[in-house]
Amino acid sequence: MNEASFWQLIESTGSPNDPAEKEDALRRLLMALPAEDVADFNRIYQDKMRRAYTWPLWAAGFIIGRGCSDDGFTEFRNYVIGHGRSLYDAAIASPDDLAERLVEIRREGPSLMPFLPSFDLIPAEVYEEQTGDDLPFESSDTLTPSGTPWKESKSDLERTCPRLWKRFGGEWIRVFEKP
């Protein structure tokens, strides 16, 4: 499997706005591949996850999701990858561009839900099912995100991603206001 076939497979799994459907589609597609291709898919996927481990992209996830823990940031990066190559490349180059590019975001309760919870785990599950063996562990994170860190404050988040803050920040600005 090469990068072009990786993206083709990702883009054929449907909308990331329906996490269960998208994850089921990925599982089915990977099950149809030889174990070696599943391992290659996982290697490319983890490389994309590491490349997306940046402070600016985390700020984007924090603003859109009204907060974004470590696990939430993994799920947000899954969502960005799940959208396909075009959105992924744009998000890596300028996370603030997500303000215009993410037009369909599923809402659950008080938070926006741009997350794919288990998308990154599926290749290892499929590989184990196919071979009975574990894939070699590849962390999707480095020690620290790259880029300039930010604080959980209106001013830092607005400075880091001004267009995203304008689109999504006002919906929960009360989080940063003092009573």
For residue 83, count other CB atoms closer than 10 A to its CB.
22
Rounded CA separation 96/80 (Å): 13
Helix, strand or coil for residue 107?
strand
- When mean pLDDT is compared across 27-31, 89-93, 168-172, the lowest value belongs to 168-172
Mean pLDDT of 134-150: 82
Radius of gyration over every alpha carbon of the chain, rounded to an integer in angstroms: 17
- Span 89-99, average pLDDT: 94
pLDDT for residue 167: 84
Q: What does the DSSP 8-state code read for residue 110?
A: T
At residue 146, the 3 state secondary structure works out as strand
Span 4-42, pLDDT tens digits: 999 999 999 988 778 889 999 999 999 999 999 999 999
